[in-house]
Chains A and B, each alone.
Chain A
Amino acid sequence: MAESNRLCDCQKQVDEVKCLKRLDAVIKDYREKPGALIPVLQIAQGLFGYLPEVALKRISLGLDKSYSEVAGVVGFYSFFSTVPRGRNLVRVCLGTACYVRGGKQVLEAIKKHLGIDVGQTTPDKLFSLEVARCFGACGLAPAITVNDDVHQRVKSAKVHEIINSYRKVSRVKAATHKRAKS
């Protein structure tokens, strides 16, 4: 999945030039292929972590499509984001099975715990919250994902335990990162 092989961590100083260079190579590969726009956007989002305007402009020029067409496609699909996301992406499934098994209560509990609404990112940039429509983990409802980990049969009274486990990991990572730098 694009998310998992993202090359630039958005928490770091994004090496935009490097990413754009890679993007150019991708555009070159896809240029002749019919229906290239969506795969290119998917790869670009994997590179940057989101879709910054500069990348969209590059894609528009490279694939010879008007910027409005590119922006139109980006706006249509829910997987594309034009704003940076937090380090951890929490997605609460509200597919039917999760919904009838209490997914809504789980979402409320997470919102309350993180203090943000759906589509927002915490001020410390650690967590973004989104709603998903079914991961196909219906047998394990209600489910949430944090990054690529699926958490199953989540109880709303216990969401803080899940979230906090990522908070810890993120802190440890940030600390080691700092140490490595200094």
Chain B
Amino acid sequence: MTAHRKIPTPAALKVLAAEYKIKVESRIQTGDKAPSGKIKHHVLVCTGGGCIASGALDVKAAMEQEIKRLGLASQVKVFATGCLGPCAVGPVVVVYPEGTFYENLTPKSAVRIAREHLKKGKIVEEFVHKKEPSKTPVPAMKDIEFLNKQTKIVLRNCGIIDPLSIEEYIGRDGYLALAKVLTAMKPDEVIEIIKKSGLRGRGGAGFPTWMKWSLTRKAAGDEKYMLCNADEGDPGAFMDRSVLEGDPHSVIEAMVIGAYAVGASKGFVYCRAEYPLAVERLNKAIESARESGFLGTAILGADFNFDLEIRMGAGAFVCGEETALMTSIEGQRGEPRPRPPFPANKGLWGKPSVLNNVETYASIPAIINRGADWFASFGTEKSKGTKVFALAGAVTMTGLVEVPVGTPLGEIIYDIGGGIPNGKKFKAAQIGGPSGGCIPRQHLNVPVDYESLSELGAIMGSGGLIVMDEDTCMVDVARYFLDFVQDESCGKCVPCRVGTKRMLEILDRICEGHGEMEDIDRLISLGHQIRDTALCGLGQTAANPVLSTIRHFRHEYEAHIRQKHCEAGICPGLVRAPCQSACPAHVDVPGFVSLVGEKRYSEALKLHRERNPFASVCARVCFHTCEDKCRRASLDDAVSIRGIKRYMVDQELKPLIPAVRDNKENARRKVAIIGAGPAGLSCAYFLARLGYQPKVFEAEPRPGGMLVQTIPAYRLPRELLAREIRMIERMGVEIKTGKKLGRDFTLESLKMLGYDAVFVAVGAPDGVRVEMPGSDARGVVESIAFLREYNLRGSVKVGKKVIVVGGGNAAIDAARTALRLGAGVTVVYRRTEAEMPAYAEEIEQASQEGVILQTLTAPEEIIVKNGAVAGMRCRRMKLGEFDRSGRRRPEGSGEELVLDADQVILAIGQTLDAQKVIGDLPVELIGKSQIMAEALTGKTSVPWLFAGGDAAVGPSSVVEAVASGERAAVGMDAYLTGESHAFWRREAVVETGFDPDADPRMDPRGALVLLPAERRTNNFDEVEQSWSETEAVRQARRCLRCDYRAKEESESVPCQK
């Protein structure tokens, strides 16, 4: 690098600045403003740490070589810049004057850009940014939402200038703030400007910056220090790294300004050893600043001296704490010191010291240049300016994001970050790293500022923002952070050293399945004690992640402790395989899949029916939560478990009766089950396996509940259902149809007849009525009633133009049934398709068949002519703020829409009149529509009465009902005999071949086979078809066998589910 000439005076600097400004600014001008000259293109290559890791340097080299080869060297200039922000899609390159943003580049694609764009002026669409999930190309940088929704103050130069060039920094008004301070301002005036700007420390605690400066200025002593905290320890934050790598001079300039304000002559930057590139670039920047006369003696000709040195950390998180950082610079173990005395009075080597964070410093030159009022115009009343967030985790666009303080969390995650990838649901965002807390989805609207976050138990911290989706276990996250701080605790004070250890032990045992309910309170009380008594910030905040996850996700802790269940499928002690853990019925998925892989179909089926009798039904109607958790998805796509199951059940000629334990005593006990739906019949099935002979009462003429009444035959052929019900009957279960609770008998009358225990599984059979103008007109029906009438009676009145209102499975079932009966069908739903509760496959199949979806449309009024439906007036909606379910609330826009119709089917929801079910029995209810029952046993507040399925938990899925029936069977057996005999819950080892060291087979996930749409719209033939044997076996062998354990470690916690 050439040596820089010393700049003697502020006036000389201004001349240079004007000269360099033209150079730097001209390269980022677009359109008409672009200068016309010899240079046709400027190419900016991001060389932030992320892009370098992705191969940016190779991309740059390849492009430069190709430019030379094409003879364009005099027309195209290539620059290396600091971090542009969107690390997820790196390496990235911006080509001016078009302002075209290229992403995910390789040396090969760089060559193509040189040939087509730089040579021929043709934008290479293949490599421009693609908007997720539609994949629409967005060539212009200014149209990319991740970038254009940001406000860049701290990162103002990152991605624009060459970080190693002091000239380019000067060309962006660099060191002009310093010149202004040195020529026109007294130290107190500098502090006053910072005070007026409202700048607060960006390192975490948000302490007003001016106050630190003012206290240090007033402190006695001639020797003072200006320190910079670049020990960005929060695992998940990388904005300091990007500033140091992308714009190191902004930090140097601010430190000189600060030194002038407080009267310091020496400064240190304490940087983590994990950031070698940042250290390297900062070192070079310091060197050139010194040569140019911005550091050293008589800076810019003024009577002011200051110099700067870098000290590298050596891998200790606690050194981010201010007093520990100073002890570390002093060359000792980085242990914190008690405060007071505060560093402003006694800091480094006992001298008054200011310690600010990188990001805080980087704002300061901009504040001086553009004024305190300008800076204060961003942000909220109490928190001014902007904050950089390191957006990472389960979010589409990861990277650095700078927004005004107080921007709602949801906007950062969804509008800028592009939401959650892979169709997963948002669960929580962790803000502030190991000292911070989590924000759950019901608070997505929270403005991200110091005060609002601390109200929710989180902190702004350094700005690490980790997005977590449904696959994250919050107990595991808490344990992770505690493990981190426990590991990093310096050991000086007892609360932190011993307290965090005890908390970690408790969390460990909860995650391993040995927790007790009292543990939750123990964690809370220990956490509070550590917070109140630890010596430094590390200890005082160590318990925050635990306290905040308990506050917002207590149910997950309880599920780990009581049900030994980890909802996310993460905790190894509780999860044999994530698919099995995600199945409510706990079917041994890897077991039956691997048996299918060896063509051992009847063994596979037997294994399935150990936990779920309705193999054939579930192969068709289950929405396969198992596949959502399949680990294979992280490699390519989830194993098609339902497709494999479908092939397996199709190989069965007649269902075999599973293992039954004859028991004369149990056979004598009288057990009644009300409702022959999936919950009731599963309960009967499992009771029968224990030797009971329960009697099932069904109100309708045919057993099956919702399976037969509402699920259409094109999804579930009736003969298959009947076969599985006959299997249950053959096990000694008696089903009495046409017997309705409340009409033919009551709960008390059953008791009088000598029944020892009764299971209520009557479902949620009533459609929810909505009142809107015209809803009592002729032609308005409710979806459940509509489906029931068609499925049980074989015919139903259908209009020519039908509108279905709703977005759940009942809505889609009703729509597709009406379509098959000859109607033109429109589904009206007030949110977007992505938010429809119906299964995605169903929605897609409905569209293929010709059902029209009118999403973001809310019904306002049913238009009535002569007492009959004539149409519907709707309002177009747009998405507004986030509601408590974490979904955007639809808001009315001005636009109206009128649809013609002669029938309206309302599919708003299902419910149960629970009071009518229990009659005069003193059974506790939840609201008016659910019977309160213990989740693990189905026990109600009346000892002999059990409840399950939709009647207990509200409308849910078939497999949930099956699971609930099984749990009630175990609960009733325990009630009747005093102990549990659920032999099917014991985990059996399936002997199938598996080589743990072999590479996974790379066959892609197979698609379901469907009847062509034109062959299914006028009949009720089954839409989904089975695979060939070759395909089924190939698909089964894609399984990664997460259940596999080497023989010695196969010991596991007994299953409680």
Question: A residues engaging B (CB < 8 A)?
Answer: 1-4, 34-39, 41-42, 69, 72-73, 76-80, 94-102, 105, 132-141, 143, 148, 150-152, 155-158
**CB pair A96 B53 closer than 8 Å:** no
**CB pair A136 B275 closer than 8 Å:** yes
**CB pair B393 A96 closer than 8 Å:** yes
A138-B390 in contact given A1-B276, A76-B490 (Cβ < 8 Å): yes
A157-B1040 in contact given A35-B329, A140-B87 (Cβ < 8 Å): yes
**CB pair B315 A77 closer than 8 Å:** yes
**CB pair B50 A97 closer than 8 Å:** no
Inside 8 A of B321's CB, which chain A residues have their CB? none
Closest A-chain residue to B484, C-beta based? A133
A79-B392 in contact given A97-B236, A100-B466 (Cβ < 8 Å): no
Scoring A41, A42, A105 by chain B CB atoms within 10 A of each residue's CB, the highest score goes to: A42
Closest B-chain residue to A3, C-beta based? B276
Q: Which of B331-339, B441-449, B612-620 lies at the binding interface?
A: B331-339
Inside 8 A of B52's CB, which chain A residues have their CB? 150
**CB pair A140 B349 closer than 8 Å:** no
Inside 8 A of B317's CB, which chain A residues have their CB? 133
CA distance A39 to B314 in the complex (A): 9
Name 5 extra pairs, CB < 8 A, besides A42-B273, A136-B275, A138-B392.
Answer: A35-B311, A38-B328, A76-B335, A96-B481, A134-B237
CA distance A76 to B314 in the complex (A): 9
**CB pair B241 A136 closer than 8 Å:** yes
Q: Kindly provide the distance from the CB of A23 to the nearest chain B CB, expressed in whole angstroms.
A: 17
**CB pair A39 B311 closer than 8 Å:** yes
Q: Kindly provide the distance from the CB of A90 to the nearest chain B CB, expressed in whole angstroms.
A: 15
Q: Kindly provide the distance from the CB of B1040 to the nearest chain A CB, expressed in whole angstroms.
A: 7
Pick from A1, A105, A133, A152: contact of B235, CB under 8 Å = A133
CA distance A134 to B481 in the complex (A): 13
Inside 8 A of B235's CB, which chain A residues have their CB? 94-99, 133-134
Inside 8 A of B312's CB, which chain A residues have their CB? 38-39, 42
A101-B314 in contact given A36-B331, A138-B398 (Cβ < 8 Å): no
Pick from A3, A34, A157: contact of B635, CB under 8 Å = A157
**CB pair A35 B330 closer than 8 Å:** yes
> Any chain A CB within 8 A of the CB of B433?
yes
A138-B238 in contact given A38-B331, A100-B466 (Cβ < 8 Å): yes
A136-B334 in contact given A1-B273, A96-B235, A101-B393 (Cβ < 8 Å): no
Inside 8 A of A101's CB, which chain B residues have their CB? 393-394
**CB pair A139 B399 closer than 8 Å:** yes
Pick from A72, A79, A143: contact of B314, CB under 8 Å = A79
**CB pair A96 B466 closer than 8 Å:** yes
10 A-B pairs with the lowest CB-CB distances in the bound complex, closest first: A139-B87, A95-B235, A136-B238, A1-B276, A77-B314, A150-B53, A138-B392, A97-B392, A134-B235, A78-B315
**CB pair A134 B236 closer than 8 Å:** yes
Inside 8 A of B276's CB, which chain A residues have their CB? 1, 3-4, 148
Q: What are 5 contact pairs spanning A and B, CB under 8 A?
A: A41-B314, A100-B477, A132-B274, A140-B87, A150-B52
Find residues 200-241 in chain B having any chain A CB closer than 8 Å to their own CB.
Answer: 232-238, 241
Pick from B280, B316, B329: contact of A78, CB under 8 Å = B316
User: Quick one: CB contact mask for B612-637 with A, threshold 8 Å, 1 for yes?
Assistant: 00000000000000000001001100
Inside 8 A of B999's CB, which chain A residues have their CB? 157
**CB pair A72 B333 closer than 8 Å:** yes
CA distance A127 to B701 in the complex (A): 71
Scoring B87, B234, B235, B464 by chain A CB atoms within 10 A of each residue's CB, the highest score goes to: B235
> Any chain A CB within 8 A of the CB of B430?
yes
Closest B-chain residue to A73, C-beta based? B333
**CB pair B398 A34 closer than 8 Å:** no
Scoring B52, B275, B398 by chain A CB atoms within 10 A of each residue's CB, the highest score goes to: B398
Q: Kindly provide the distance from the CB of B135 to the nearest chain A CB, expressed in whole angstroms.
A: 19
**CB pair A100 B472 closer than 8 Å:** yes
CA distance A98 to B390 in the complex (A): 13
Inside 8 A of B464's CB, which chain A residues have their CB? 96, 138
> Any chain A CB within 8 A of the CB of B480?
yes
Closest A-chain residue to B471, C-beta based? A100
**CB pair B50 A137 closer than 8 Å:** yes
CA distance A41 to B472 in the complex (A): 40
**CB pair A38 B311 closer than 8 Å:** yes
A139-B314 in contact given A95-B236, A96-B466 (Cβ < 8 Å): no
CA distance A132 to B234 in the complex (A): 12
Inside 8 A of B399's CB, which chain A residues have their CB? 139
Inside 8 A of A136's CB, which chain B residues have their CB? 49, 232, 237-238, 241-242, 274-275
Q: Kindly provide the distance from the CB of B623 to the nearest chain A CB, expressed in whole angstroms.
A: 25
Pick from A37, A102, A139: contact of B50, CB under 8 Å = A139
> Any chain A CB within 8 A of the CB of B1000?
yes
User: Quick one: CB contact mask for B458-501 with A, threshold 8 Å, 1 for yes?
Assistant: 00000010101000100001001100100010100000000000
A140-B54 in contact given A96-B235, A101-B393 (Cβ < 8 Å): yes
Q: Kindly provide the distance from the CB of B692 to the nearest chain A CB, expressed in whole angstroms.
A: 44
Scoring B233, B466, B635, B1000 by chain A CB atoms within 10 A of each residue's CB, the highest score goes to: B466
> Any chain A CB within 8 A of the CB of B388?
no
Closest B-chain residue to A65, C-beta based? B331
> Any chain A CB within 8 A of the CB of B708?
no
Inside 8 A of B45's CB, which chain A residues have their CB? none
CA distance A72 to B492 in the complex (A): 13
> Any chain A CB within 8 A of the CB of B166?
no
Q: Kindly provide the distance from the CB of B296 to the nearest chain A CB, expressed in whole angstroms.
A: 18
Inside 8 A of A42's CB, which chain B residues have their CB? 273, 312, 314
CA distance A134 to B256 in the complex (A): 30
Q: Kindly provide the distance from the CB of B568 to the nearest chain A CB, expressed in whole angstroms.
A: 10
Closest B-chain residue to A97, C-beta based? B392
**CB pair B331 A73 closer than 8 Å:** yes
Q: Kindly provide the distance from the CB of A133 to the nearest chain B CB, expressed in whole angstroms.
A: 5
Q: Kindly provide the distance from the CB of B1000 to the nearest chain A CB, expressed in whole angstroms.
A: 5
User: Quick one: CB contact mask for B89-128 with A, threshold 8 Å, 1 for yes?
Assistant: 0100000000000000000000000000000000000000
> Any chain A CB within 8 A of the CB of B88?
yes
**CB pair B236 A79 closer than 8 Å:** no
> Any chain A CB within 8 A of the CB of B279?
yes
**CB pair B315 A140 closer than 8 Å:** no
CA distance A2 to B241 in the complex (A): 18
Q: Kindly provide the distance from the CB of A37 to the nearest chain B CB, expressed in whole angstroms.
A: 4
CA distance A98 to B237 in the complex (A): 12
A37-B331 in contact given A1-B276, A76-B316, A100-B466 (Cβ < 8 Å): yes
**CB pair B433 A96 closer than 8 Å:** yes
Closest B-chain residue to A150, C-beta based? B53
Inside 8 A of A79's CB, which chain B residues have their CB? 273, 313-315
Inside 8 A of B490's CB, which chain A residues have their CB? 76
**CB pair B273 A140 closer than 8 Å:** no
Inside 8 A of B86's CB, which chain A residues have their CB? 139
Inside 8 A of B233's CB, which chain A residues have their CB? 133-134
Inside 8 A of B275's CB, which chain A residues have their CB? 136
**CB pair B393 A97 closer than 8 Å:** yes
Closest B-chain residue to A4, C-beta based? B276
**CB pair B333 A139 closer than 8 Å:** no
Scoring A73, A79, A133, A158 by chain B CB atoms within 10 A of each residue's CB, the highest score goes to: A133
Inside 8 A of B481's CB, which chain A residues have their CB? 96
Q: Kindly provide the distance from the CB of B228 to the nearest chain A CB, expressed in whole angstroms.
A: 15
Q: Kindly provide the distance from the CB of A69 to the nearest chain B CB, expressed in whole angstroms.
A: 8
Closest B-chain residue to A36, C-beta based? B331
Inside 8 A of B333's CB, which chain A residues have their CB? 72-73, 76
Scoring A39, A77, A97, A98 by chain B CB atoms within 10 A of each residue's CB, the highest score goes to: A97
Find residues 592-648 in chain B having any chain A CB closer than 8 Å to their own CB.
Answer: 631, 634-635
Find residues 286-339 in chain B having any chain A CB closer than 8 Å to their own CB.
Answer: 311-317, 328-335
Inside 8 A of B49's CB, which chain A residues have their CB? 135-137, 150
A102-B634 in contact given A35-B329, A36-B331, A136-B274 (Cβ < 8 Å): yes
A73-B480 in contact given A96-B235, A150-B53, A155-B635 (Cβ < 8 Å): no
Q: Kindly provide the distance from the CB of B278 to the nearest chain A CB, expressed in whole angstroms.
A: 8
Q: Kindly provide the distance from the CB of A102 to the nearest chain B CB, expressed in whole angstroms.
A: 6
